[in-house]
């Protein structure tokens, strides 16, 4: 008999479980369901070519992007999960586009597909509408790495605006430049010129509608800018475990690949119609080698098909 090495944790099973825990219409995304579509431009820096030959990152282009909110599922008041923000964007022209999906934490909550499915199942509400606290405690005790993300979020309160938030694409991506040199990088999206200090006024206390209102009024007043950074890898970095950071990651050498300038609100239909998918990467940035990214490569296509 052929055994399933992931214990049934297929991308389809994970998408179905994510979806079962999401409030909203069947057409809603399985994750980061609430969001706002925007558009703008990407301007590469003169150092981008040192890192990658990808036309997505080395040429100026239009940008389609979406700010979003995940977690805080009202169906699960007992789960007490932290709220994450998401920022997805598409760079490049039609033949060389790349989708980078980022979130407001540098780590994911599970290391493997099986662990992710078990994490979600431990949060499925029981008959009283809340997850079983014993089950949740037992799971967390046996899987301490699934607490890393929540610990990070608790220690780093989010600023009051999408525009002042820092986002990470989490995985280690192999980047190849024109000389054929490949190195691992992490994408980090840093707000430009923000004076806003982190406050206690996080999404937990700030209704999601206010986050969107803030976004709209900021865009009406002026462009919102982010630096797209490549954090450079070193020999020996843990490339396969998305629940831990690289050693001294915040103090690493970084290269600014370019600037993302958000100039206007876009109809949400534009983002719904051309769904972001982390498998869309133009030549010059490869697929991260970890197991979670492999699951994601299938999951977004499955999710998109379900909500058509």
Q: Alpha-carbon distance 199 to 172, whole Å?
A: 29
Give, as ranges, the residues between 115 and 134 that touch ligand HEM (CB under 6 A). Answer: 116
Is position 242 an interface residue for ligand HEM (rule: CB under 6 A)? yes
Give, as ranges, the residues between 259 and 278 that touch ligand HEM (CB under 6 A). Answer: 271, 275-276
Is position 32 an interface residue for ligand HEM (rule: CB under 6 A)? yes
- Mark the segment that binds ligand HEM (CB under 6 A) among 27-35, 157-165, 183-191, 230-238: 27-35
Q: Identify whether the C-beta of residue 39 lies closer than 8 Å to the C-beta of residue 64.
A: yes
- 19 closest CA partner among 37, 32, 36, 4: 32
Neighbours of 182 (CB within 10 A): 13
- Mark the segment that binds ligand HEM (CB under 6 A) among 24-32, 90-98, 131-139, 147-155: 24-32
Residue at token pair 């040429």: 59
Return the beta strands (E) in the chain as ranges.
34-44, 61-70, 84-91, 98-103, 167-168, 173-176, 182-191, 224-232, 254-265
Is position 66 an interface residue for ligand HEM (rule: CB under 6 A)? yes
Is position 292 an interface residue for ligand HEM (rule: CB under 6 A)? yes
Specify the DSSP class assigned to residue 144.
G
Q: How far is the CB of 6 from ligand HEM (least distance, A)?
A: 11
Distances (CA, A) of 65 to 230, 249, 303: 19, 26, 19
Kindly tell me which residue out of 52, 88, 98, 161 binds ligand HEM, with binding defined by CB under 6 A: 88
Binding site for ligand HEM (CB under 6 A): 11, 14-15, 18, 29-32, 35, 66, 68, 86, 88, 101-103, 108, 116, 169-170, 242, 271, 275-276, 292, 295-296, 299-300, 303-304, 307
């Amino acid at each position: 008999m052929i055994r399933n090495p992931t214990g049934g944790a297929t991308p389809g099973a994970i998408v179905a479980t994510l979806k079962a825990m999401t409030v909203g219409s069947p057409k809603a995304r399985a994750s980061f369901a609430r969001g706002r579509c925007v558009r703008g431009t990407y301007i590469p820096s003169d150092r981008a070519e040192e890192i990658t030959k990808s036309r997505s990152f080395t040429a100026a282009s239009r940008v389609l992007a979406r700010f979003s909110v995940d977690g805080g599922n009202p169906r699960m008041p007992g789960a007490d999960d932290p709220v994450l923000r998401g920022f997805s964007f598409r760079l490049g022209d039609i033949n060389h586009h790349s989708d980078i999906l980022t979130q407001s934490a540098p780590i994911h909550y599970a290391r493997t597909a099986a662990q992710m499915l078990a994490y979600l199942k431990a949060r499925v509400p029981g008959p009283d509408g809340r997850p079983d606290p014993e089950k949740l405690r037992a799971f967390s005790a046996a899987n301490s790495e699934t607490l890393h993300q929540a610990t990070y979020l608790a220690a780093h309160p989010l600023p009051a605006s999408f525009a002042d938030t820092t986002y990470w694409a989490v995985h280690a991506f192999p980047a190849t430049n024109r000389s054929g040199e490949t190195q691992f990088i992490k994408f980090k999206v840093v707000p430009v010129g923000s004076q806003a200090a982190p406050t206690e006024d996080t999404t937990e206390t700030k209704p999601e509608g206010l986050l969107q209102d803030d976004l709209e009024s900021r865009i009406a007043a002026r462009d919102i800018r982010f630096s797209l950074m490549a954090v450079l890898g070193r020999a020996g970095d843990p490339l396969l475990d998305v629940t831990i950071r690289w050693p001294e990651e915040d103090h690493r050498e970084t290269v600014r690949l370019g600037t993302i300038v958000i100039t206007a609100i876009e109809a949400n239909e534009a983002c719904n119609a051309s769904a972001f998918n982390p498998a869309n990467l133009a030549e010059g940035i490869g697929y991260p080698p970890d197991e979670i990214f492999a699951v994601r490569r299938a999951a977004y296509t499955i999710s998109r098909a379900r909500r058509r």
